[in-house]
Amino acid sequence: MANIEQFLREHGIPFQYFSHPAVRTCEESGRLCPEMPGMHTKNLFLKDDKKQRHILLSLPHGKVAHLKEFGKIYGIKSPSLASAEDLKTYLGVEPGAVTLLGLINDTENHVEVFLDEELWKHDFIGCHPLVNTATLVIPREGLEKFFEATGHIYRLCAVPEKELPILT
Sequential pLDDT tens for the chain (168 residues): 469 999 999 999 999 998 876 766 666 666 655 576 788 899 999 999 999 999 999 999 889 999 999 999 999 999 999 999 999 999 999 998 999 999 999 999 999 999 999 999 999 999 999 988 889 999 999 999 999 999 999 999 999 998 766 665
Residue 141 within any structural domain of the chain: yes
Q: How far is the C-alpha of 77 from the C-alpha of 64, rounded, in Å?
A: 19
Name residues whose C-beta falls within 8 Å of residue 4's C-beta, 6 or more positions apart in sequence.
101, 104, 129, 130, 136
Residue 92 lies in a domain: yes
Q: Where residue 140 sits, what CATH number does that domain have?
A: 3.90.960.10
- Position 13 scores a pLDDT of 98
CA distance 33 to 134: 9
Domain contains 59 = yes
In a domain, 163, yes or no: no
Predicted local confidence at residue 109, as pLDDT:
96
Q: Is residue 166 part of a domain?
A: no
pTM to 2 decimal places = 0.90
The total number of structural domains that make up the chain: 1
With respect to residue 162, please indicate whether it lies within any of the assigned structural domains: no
Domain assignment present for residue 33? The answer is: yes
Residue 73, domain member (yes or no): yes
Q: Which domain holds residue 57?
A: 4-157
